[in-house]
Amino acid sequence: MNTLKIMLALGLLCLSSASVQAVEIRDHHKEVIGKDCKACHDQGIKQFPSDQACQQCHDVDELAETTARSEEDKWQNPHNNLHYGKELPCQECHGEHKAKKPICSDCHTFKYDKHKE
């Protein structure tokens, strides 16, 4: 029984340290969020953040400008793309606790060099 408790404790420790590390992926998040998980997890810690959570700080129009491409490739803008316009929820391509690929790569070979998973 004791062994089980220790194993559980170790397991929890691993889990918590993993998520703290994950939050550190983006420096600007580290500065703003710190260790306040609720800053993003607005629907409870065990639930994914709402699709609006990221927009407390990030503005879709600004993001779309930042990632704009030339006229010929204008619809490859992940924040204003051909298929879903500006409506693609952030979590389709970005995750703080796990690596994600851009949804475009399901069908296309576009390069997004600055994409942070």
Partner 1 sequence: MSNVDLLGRRKFIAGLGVAAGAAMVAPAMAVSEKADGVKWDKEIEIVIIGSGFAGLAAGIEATKLGAKDVHIFEKMSYFGGNSAINGGLFAAPGTPMQSKEGVNDSVDRMVADQLAAGCGIADEALLRHVAEHAMEALQMTFDAGSEYHPYLQQLGGHSVARTYQTTVSCGAGITQPLLHKCRELGVHTHNRSKFEGFLVGEKGEVLGVKMRDNYHFGEDQPGKVINIRAKRGVIMATGGFAQNVNLRMAQDPTLTSEVGCTNAPGATGEGMYEMFRLGAVPVHLAHIQSGPWASPDEGGFGYVSNYSIYNFPHSIAINRLTGQRFMDEIADRKTRADAELACRDEQGNALPPILITSYKDSKKHPNTKKVIKYNVGWKFDSVEELASHFNVPLKALKTQIEEYNQYVKSGEDKQFGKNMTKAAGKYIEAPFTVVRLWPKVHYCQGGVQINTKAEVKDSFTGVAIPGLYAAGEVCGGIHGVSRLGSCSIPECMVMGMTAARSMMKA
Task: Give dist(CA 29, CA 33) in Å, integer.
Answer: 5
The yes or no reply on residue 39 touching partner 1 (CB under 8 A) is: no
The yes or no reply on residue 47 touching partner 1 (CB under 8 A) is: yes
Its sign, for the CA torsion 56, 62, 63, 66, is negative
Neighbours of 93 (CB within 10 A): 19
Nearer to partner 1, 2 or 47 (CB): 47
The yes or no reply on residue 43 touching partner 1 (CB under 8 A) is: yes
User: Taking contact as CB under 8 A, which single stretch among the options 3-11, 23-31, 33-41, 89-97 is the one that binds partner 1?
Assistant: 89-97
The yes or no reply on residue 30 touching partner 1 (CB under 8 A) is: no
**What's the burial of 59, exposed, middle or buried (CB within 10 Å: 0-12/13-18/19+)?**
exposed
Task: Give dist(CA 25, CA 22) in Å, integer.
Answer: 6
The yes or no reply on residue 38 touching partner 1 (CB under 8 A) is: no
Could you say which of 26, 39, 41, 48 contacts partner 1 (CB under 8 A)?
Answer: 48
**CB of 32 closer than 8 Å to CB of 39:** yes
Q: Which residues bind partner 1 (CB under 8 A)?
A: 43, 47-48, 51, 72, 75, 82-85, 87-89, 91-92, 105-110
